[in-house]
Structure formats: C-alpha cells, structure tokens
Amino acid sequence: MKRLSICLLLVLLLSANVLAADYKIGFNNALSGVYCLDILENFAVYGAEALGVDLMVVNDEGTIEKSISNVENMIASGVDGIVYFGLSDATFAIVAKMCADARVPLVLYDHLPTPDTLAHLRNNPYFAGAVGEDDYDAGYPIGEFAAATGAKTAVLVTGNRGDTTHEARVKGFTEAFEGAGGKVLDIAWAATGGRAEALKKSEDLLVAYPDVDVVYTTSGEPAVATMEVLQKYADLGIQYYVTDLDPPILEGLQEGKISAANGAHWINSGLAVALLHNFLEGNPIKDANGQAPVFHVPIIVLEAGQYKAYEEQWLNNMPFTPEEIRNLSVKYNPAASAESFETLLANYSVEQRIMDKFEAGIITEEDLERYGF
C-alpha cells in the first residue's frame, strides 16, 4: 500500500505539467539534429509554452514510414491535436485521414501542400490550416538577384533528389537565373549527408567549373562547407548565395564571404501551434473564403549589415514575445482571427521586427544604433 501510494505520488508529480496544460499537442520534427528543423521545434516549444499547452515532440528520423507511425502513436497517446511537417506531399492526405478518423485536428507547418492536395484536405473538417513557406520562393529571388548582377553562369550545391524542399529551391533559382539569360552549369545533389560530404562535393564542383560566376547552396549545413571551400578560391571572385540563416551563415555574411542569404527560419511552427490552439478553443480560423487558411511566411532576406540585429533578436532571443503569440489565440484575445495572422506575417521582416521591439520597449535606442537602424 505504501509503495502504491509512493508510485501514485510520483506519477502525479511527473504528470503535473501535463495536467496544468490546457491541451496536449503532438509535433513532429522531421529529423532531429538538423539545425533548421531543430530551430522550428524550438519555436514550437516556445509558442506552446506561451499558450500554456503541452507539446509532445517526436522525431521522424527523416523517413516517411516513421512520420506516419509517429502520427499513429501520437493519436494513440491521446493528443488533442497535431502540428505536422510532411516529408512528402503524399503524406498529407494519409495523415489527415488518420486524424479525421480519430477526430484529432491537424495543422501543417513548414511544407505546404500542393493545390490539389490542399483542395482535398479542405474537405476534411479536422484540417485546421497550414503555416509555411514556398521553397520555390526561396530560390527564385536569389536567382533573380544573381542574374541582376550580370552573372552568366552558376553551379548549385543542394540536398537529395526527390527532397521537395531542395528540388523547389533549385527550380526557383534555375528558372529565375536562366530566365534572365544565365546558365546553371551543374548541380551537386546529395550534399546534405554531412559537412564532410558537402565539402568534397563543393570542392569537386569548383575544380570542374573554376570560371563560374555564382554558387548557390540551398541549405544551411552544406552552405557552411561551400563557404569554406570558396575561401580557397577567393581570388576567382565568385559570388556566393545561401538559403537558410544558420549562425555560421550569419558570420559569413558579416565577414563578406556571402553576398546575400535568405530564409524563413523560426516562426511557422509556433504560428501553427497558435492556429491549432484556436481550433481547440472552438474558434477555427477561416480564410476570406471560409476555408481552412494557408498562411505564407515571408522569406527574410538578410543583408550583411543586419547580422547583429538577427543574432541578438532571433538567435539569442525570440523574434516574437509570448504576448504576441498569445494575441493570436482566441483564449487570450477574443478578436483573434485570420487577419491577426496575416497582419503579423505582412509585417515580418528584420527591420519591422526590430522597430516593433523598440516600440514595445524591448530594445533600446542604443541597440537600434548598434544594429545600424
């Protein structure tokens, strides 16, 4: 009896957090250890804490099978809703059906469904919407920008064939660059298998195309490797562009090793949690057509001079305050609506965030000066 009492007490203590939270939300990290994915998890945890919900995080280990079985496990464990990252468009319909069968609402984050899949998902009453960015839109402006500098040739370093993120970024860059008269000479695929692999592939590529004008790497980790290789070819004056704003990339920007970088780090996951929270609170957010909304997070283009602001207000702090996250949920703000999300996203840029933080008294005038504003 005594042992049983102790066990019960322990269980109660351990589950105190869960009991205190309003809801338990399931969240999948596609592959733990990848910085850009871990940072999304990080912001989801931050958003969940701000909203007072318990976040159950699972690791899909980069495989679709595990991703689907994780959804089954999360449903079985009694989550109130799921915030889901799809490794492939094909998984969205499968996962949405599993959620509908279990009457568990679903919000997609980061990877957005194709128009056909979205139309299908919108027939599902448990599909509460999506928050993400179009990876094509990450590659396209870089291609445009590079072509506008007069560059005529480019090589790309990217992820695996079939990876929707990198395929879309490559496509975006290629169409913009070649549309403006440039030529993509070669693409080093499968460079996301680790830093050493990326170093080798980047170096081989530069030996093959020493006269190239532009190198574009579509992901943070290989981008650091390519940046190091390019230092050996600094005399060639090759322009270097990157998508993903990992800390070493920011340093590269500051040191002038990178011409420009863009990315949409951080926020879609936390906003997806807020979107789901509204649904759970009985306030399903709808778009202007009365359908489950799809919110596009703008791709941030970071210039070298903005490094300090980004480091301090994104890396060392969070870009949004807990209060701003709470304002997105009807529980804390009865006026929360699709417009709340749209307004927040429409104003999502380095400059605007810094000014908003200044006006909120979070940063000082001296900070503004240090950031170059």
Partner 1 sequence: MGDTHPMLQRFGKRRMQQVLVLAGLLLVFLIIHFATNFRFLTGRNMGIIVSHAVIPTFITWGLIFSFTSGMIDLSIGSIVVLASNFAGILGLKFGYVGLILGGLVAGVLLQALNGFVFLKTKIPPWVAGLGMAMIYESIGAVYSTAAVRSGGMVVSLGSQLRGLGQLPFNVLMLVPGLIAVYILFCRTSIGLNVRAVGSDLRVTKEMGIDPNRAKFLSMLVCGVFIGLGSAINQSYVGQLLPRTGLTTVSTIFQPLTAVLIASSMGAIFNVVIGVVIGTISLSALFNALTLLGVPSGTWQEVVLGMLVIAVTIVSMRGEEGVVK
- Per-residue binding string, partner 1, 335-364, x by CB under 8 A, is ------------------------------
Cβ burial of 94 (10 Å; 0-12, 13-18, 19+) is middle
17 makes contact with partner 1 (CB under 8 A): no
DSSP state of 311: I
Instruction: Please say whether the beta carbons of 345 and 298 come within 8 A.
Output: yes
In 143-164, which positions are buried (b, 16+ CB within 10 angstroms) versus exposed (e)? bbbbbeeebbbbbbbbbeeebb
Of 75, 128, 205, 250, the one binding partner 1 (CB under 8 A) is: 205
Of 195, 286, 296, 308, the one binding partner 1 (CB under 8 A) is: 195
**Residue in 173, 86, 139 with CA at minimum distance from that of residue 263:** 139
Beta bridge partners of 154: 184, 214
CA–CA gap between residue 209 and residue 211 (Å, rounded): 5
In 3-state terms the chain splits into helix, strand, coil percentages (rounded to 5) of 50, 15, 35
Reported as type and span, the H/E element at residue 65 is helix 64-76
Q: How far is the CB of 139 from partner 1 (least distance, A)?
A: 17
Of 52, 248, 298, 322, the one binding partner 1 (CB under 8 A) is: 248
Q: How far is the CB of 254 from partner 1 (least distance, A)?
A: 13
Stretch that binds partner 1, among 15-23, 240-248, 266-274, 365-373 (CB under 8 A): 240-248
Nearer to partner 1, 36 or 128 (CB): 36
Of 42, 124, 254, 321, the one binding partner 1 (CB under 8 A) is: 42
Nearer to partner 1, 187 or 354 (CB): 187
Q: How far is the CB of 62 from partner 1 (least distance, A)?
A: 5
Q: How far does CA 177 lie from the centroid of its chain? A: 24
Q: How far is the CB of 197 from partner 1 (least distance, A)?
A: 9
Both tokens assigned to 105: 């609402």
41 makes contact with partner 1 (CB under 8 A): yes
Of 4, 14, 196, 234, the one binding partner 1 (CB under 8 A) is: 196
223 makes contact with partner 1 (CB under 8 A): no
Instruction: Please say whether the beta carbons of 51 and 326 come within 8 A.
Output: yes
In 312-344, which positions are buried (b, 16+ CB within 10 angstroms) versus exposed (e)? ebbbeebbbeeebbbbbbbbbeeebbbebbeeb
Nearer to partner 1, 147 or 224 (CB): 224
Helices within 237-349 (DSSP H only): 247-254, 267-280, 307-310, 322-326, 338-346
Nearer to partner 1, 254 or 283 (CB): 254
Q: How far is the CB of 208 from partner 1 (least distance, A)?
A: 5
Cβ count near 139 (within 10 Å): 30
**Residue in 250, 193, 251 with CA at minimum distance from that of residue 222:** 193
Stretch that binds partner 1, among 26-34, 82-90, 121-129, 326-334 (CB under 8 A): 26-34
164 makes contact with partner 1 (CB under 8 A): no
315 makes contact with partner 1 (CB under 8 A): yes
Stretch that binds partner 1, among 82-90, 281-289, 312-320, 349-357 (CB under 8 A): 312-320
Of 21, 93, 94, 199, the one binding partner 1 (CB under 8 A) is: 199
Phi, psi dihedrals of residue 303, rounded to the nearest 5°: -95, 160
64 makes contact with partner 1 (CB under 8 A): no
Both tokens assigned to 38: 């871990």
58 makes contact with partner 1 (CB under 8 A): no
Residues 80 to 119 in contact with partner 1, rule: CB under 8 A: none
Both tokens assigned to 150: 């007069």
DSSP state of 234: G
Binding residues for partner 1 (CB under 8 A): 31-35, 38-39, 41-42, 45, 59-63, 66, 160-161, 186-191, 193-196, 199-201, 203-205, 207-208, 221, 224-225, 228, 246-248, 251, 315-317
